[in-house]
Amino acid sequence: MTATAFFALIVGIVRAIPIFAGWFDQFVAYYTNQRIDEMSAENLAAIKTAIQQKDQRDLEKVLGNPNAGEPSNVGGTVIRNDLPGVHN
């Protein structure tokens, strides 16, 4: 059994029992809030910029990307000027 399947099984069991589901939801909310509180102000500002201004470059810089806003330069990468199946 893979780790993903095992995790899905545990979550399924927890969700099936209402009291456990409530505890699980509270734990997930607590954990998420803790992780947000631990984020640096720089990370939070970069995330807000990415969402509000639809500009991910600051977020890429915070994550340590030396080519923020530029192509990744990973071999085999194809640069597209349009989205497949999207028509103007």
pLDDT recorded at residue 73: 76
Q: What pLDDT does residue 88 have?
A: 64
Q: Nearest CA to 10 among 84, 20, 87?
A: 20
Answer yes or no: is pLDDT of 68 > 80: yes
Domain-by-domain residue ranges, the chain? Answer: 1-38, 40-69
What's the chain's average pLDDT?
Answer: 85
Residue found by looking up tokens 């080519």 in the block: 67
pLDDT in tens, 16-53: 888 888 888 899 999 999 988 888 888 888 888 888 99
Question: Percentage of residues in the chain with pLDDT exceeding 70?
Answer: 99
Q: Are 56 and 63 in contact (CB under 8 A)?
A: no
Q: In which residue are the tokens 């992780």 written?
A: 35
**What pTM was estimated for this model as a whole?**
0.45
Distance separating the N- and C-terminal Cα atoms of the chain:
45
